[in-house]
Amino acid sequence: MGTMSQPESGVDRDNYPDALRAGALLVVVFGHWLATLPRLENGRTVATDHLLDVWQAAGVMTWVLQVVPVFVFVSAAVSAPGVLRRRAEGVPHLHWWGERALGLARPTVTYLAVLVALALPTLWTSGRLMGPLDHSLTVHLWFLVMLLAVQALLPWGVAMDQRFGLKAVLGLVLVAVVADLVRSGATSPGDLRDLGELVTSNRGGVGWVNALVVWLIPQQLGIAWRNGRFGGWRAGAVMLGLGAGWLALAVGSGYPVSMVGYDAEGHTNLIPPTLALVGVMWVQCGLVLLAEAPARRALGRRRIGKVVGIVGALGMGLYLWHKLAELPAAMLGERLGLPIDAGVPGEPEFWTGRLLWILLCLLVVTPVMAGVIAFETRRSPDVVAATSTPVIIAGGLCLLTGLALALALGARPGAYFGLAGVAAASWLLRQHPRLRSRVRA
């Protein structure tokens, strides 16, 4: 089963990036479960809320829980050496990207196929629980779209690092700043005091440039870190301080506190990304550097290394399927009559409900993952990725389109359209020797 960021073949495995990925993955899983609030009426789940919809003060938690910058940072650090090696060997980067895309497409086909089956009204759910959990079951697919997009530009990032060093990071930051300034429509220096309010009041426009640029910044930083352009606890402290100051200025100018979803006024830092997310990136990269020395010492212990290896091996599977665990968790909570209803934030019953809900998700995710692993391990592990440029491009477009449709439309009907696109991508992105031999004959 593929992982979200596998070490390049031929490169010695570095346990610290593996540990960062494993830790970030667990943060994502528990964060998603924490944020999903079932609403019960007469003991039956009738709707779900997002934690931030009912408790805006929890937005500051997303400064730690929004760990996508860490994923992108570490993925770039792990993958950058392979870019230079492939360049020296004359292997096109697109072939590597096609392998990554195929590694994402194959398990995603299985996930979307199960969603399609569960959404059929003739099954045991009768579609009742699919309604409340509809978008919750596909919302996490946005990360796969973003990761594929930024990794397609990895060779460009490596070339920019070779030529400009850390100035390449600064250049991306400046582009992100300009995009937000133009999006804000600010016409005077006085408008900068309300920059965040002006930016997020505009639904997008030129701000969509940052849907790519903001995520390219941690990728560029990861490349620079791998190449030794910065590191150590001093650099970590500087980045942490920069991030804290950056976030204080961002929130003070009206950017939402939360780094996911929407606030009460309908403003968001994520759709499209804003400069506030860049502040989170500085904070998290600073923490990565501060934790590096003690973490590497701890990773020398065999038990910790085994745990990191297990979580890392689950990788892509756990990311895809942990949201589906909410479906049997809701059903089990109903059957047992447990108080999993969200309640009122801050009250003891609220935290009791959160704890029970997370425990149920933990309980049911184990058999879910066991089934996924059993299925995936039976699939042919020696599938070879396509090497034809037009075919890889066509497969990539099908994959991105399928994921985007499932993300935008939810499990119903998004899983149907998404499955068609991702299945087509899975077929296109692999080699078909028998088909080629028939054509030649």
Residue type, 324: L
251 and 99 Cβ atoms separated by less than 8 Å = no
Amino acid 88: pLDDT: 86
Least confidently predicted of 17-21, 346-350, 420-424:
346-350
48 and 132 Cβ atoms separated by less than 8 Å = yes
Amino acid 375: pLDDT: 84
Tokens 């391990």 correspond to 377
Confidence at 7, pLDDT banded by 50, 70, 90: very low
Residue type, 280: V
Confidence at 2, pLDDT banded by 50, 70, 90: very low
What does the block give as tokens for 151?
């990794």
Amino acid 89: pLDDT: 86
Amino acid 125: pLDDT: 47
What is the DSSP code string of 55-110?
Answer: -GGGGGGHHHH--HHHHHHHHHHHHHHHHHHHHHHT--HHHHHHHHHHHHHHHHHH
* Domain residue ranges of the chain, discontinuous segments joined by +: 15-440
Query: Phi and psi of 308, rounded to 5°?
Result: -60, -40
Q: Say which residue, 254 or 56, is predicted with more confidence.
A: 254
Rounded average pLDDT over 36-65: 84
Amino acid 10: pLDDT: 43
Rounded average pLDDT over 334-342: 83
Kind and range of the H or E run holding 370: helix 348-378
* Per-residue burial over 360-396, b = 16 or more CB atoms within 10 Å of its CB, e = otherwise: bbeebbeebbeebeeebeeeeeeeebbeeeebbebbb
Q: Say which residue, 384 or 318, is predicted with more confidence.
A: 318
Amino acid 12: pLDDT: 54
Amino acid 11: pLDDT: 45
**C-alpha closest to that of 94 among 173, 161, 155:** 155
Helix, strand, coil percentages for the chain (3-state, nearest 5): 75, 5, 25
372 and 110 Cβ atoms separated by less than 8 Å = yes
Residue 4 has pLDDT above 50, yes or no: no
- For 175, residues 6+ apart whose C-beta sits below 8 A from its C-beta are 209, 213
Kind and range of the H or E run holding 353: helix 348-378
Amino acid 441: pLDDT: 43
Give whole-number Cα distances, 12 to 7, 16, 92, 238, 345, in Å: 8, 12, 22, 30, 47
154 and 219 Cβ atoms separated by less than 8 Å = yes
What is the DSSP code string of 169-188?
Answer: HHHHHHHHHHHHHHHHT--S
Tokens 């759709």 correspond to 271
Amino acid 315: pLDDT: 80
Say whether 439 sits in a helix, a strand or coil. helix
Amino acid 299: pLDDT: 85
**C-alpha closest to that of 330 among 320, 338, 322:** 338
258 and 52 Cβ atoms separated by less than 8 Å = yes
Residue 159 has pLDDT above 50, yes or no: yes
| pTM: predicted TM-score of the whole model, two decimal places | 0.88
- For 427, residues 6+ apart whose C-beta sits below 8 A from its C-beta are 395
Distance CA 154, CA 220 (A): 8
330 and 44 Cβ atoms separated by less than 8 Å = no
Confidence at 6, pLDDT banded by 50, 70, 90: very low
Give strand pairing partners of 385: 430
- Dmax (CA) of the chain: 73
Rounded average pLDDT over 11-38: 85
Q: Say which residue, 213 or 130, is predicted with more confidence.
A: 213
**C-alpha closest to that of 63 among 246, 266, 326:** 246
Amino acid 334: pLDDT: 86
Residue type, 346: G
Give strand pairing partners of 41: 44
Amino acid 13: pLDDT: 65
351 and 57 Cβ atoms separated by less than 8 Å = no
**C-alpha closest to that of 147 among 28, 248, 11:** 28
286 and 239 Cβ atoms separated by less than 8 Å = yes
Q: How buried is residue 64: exposed, middle or buried, by Cβ count under 10 Å (0-12/13-18/19+)?
A: middle
What does the block give as tokens for 58?
């929890």
Residue 362 has pLDDT above 90, yes or no: yes
